[in-house]
Amino acid sequence: MSKRWIGLALSLIGSVAIGVIAAQKFYALFDKTVPAGSMTDLVRAGTHSAYLVSGAIFGIVIFGWTTLAAWAARFFPATAPTK
């Protein structure tokens, strides 16, 4: 396995982890804010699942943007080319 694939895999894992952690934090905020009497256990479980799935999807989007930025960086060097 090449270093490029290892880097991409680690980036994907890290990005999805960031998305899921953010989803957990937002769900905790949601759970504290919404009154317990207005939610059933089914709604609570469904909401938690929806937050986790959307967090994973946002993690994949973060990975895509990061990979695109790393790929495009080679076309925009920070220094001028030497003559």
In the chain, which ranges are continuous DSSP H helix? 3-33, 41-72
Q: Is the pLDDT of residue 68 over 90?
A: yes
CA distances for 63 relative to 31, 68, 71, angstroms: 28, 8, 12
Environment class of 19 (CB within 10 Å of its CB; exposed 0-12, middle 13-18, buried 19+): buried
Q: What does the pLDDT look like over 16-52, one tens digit per residue?
A: 999 999 999 999 999 999 988 888 889 889 999 999 9
CB 54 within 8 A of CB 27: no
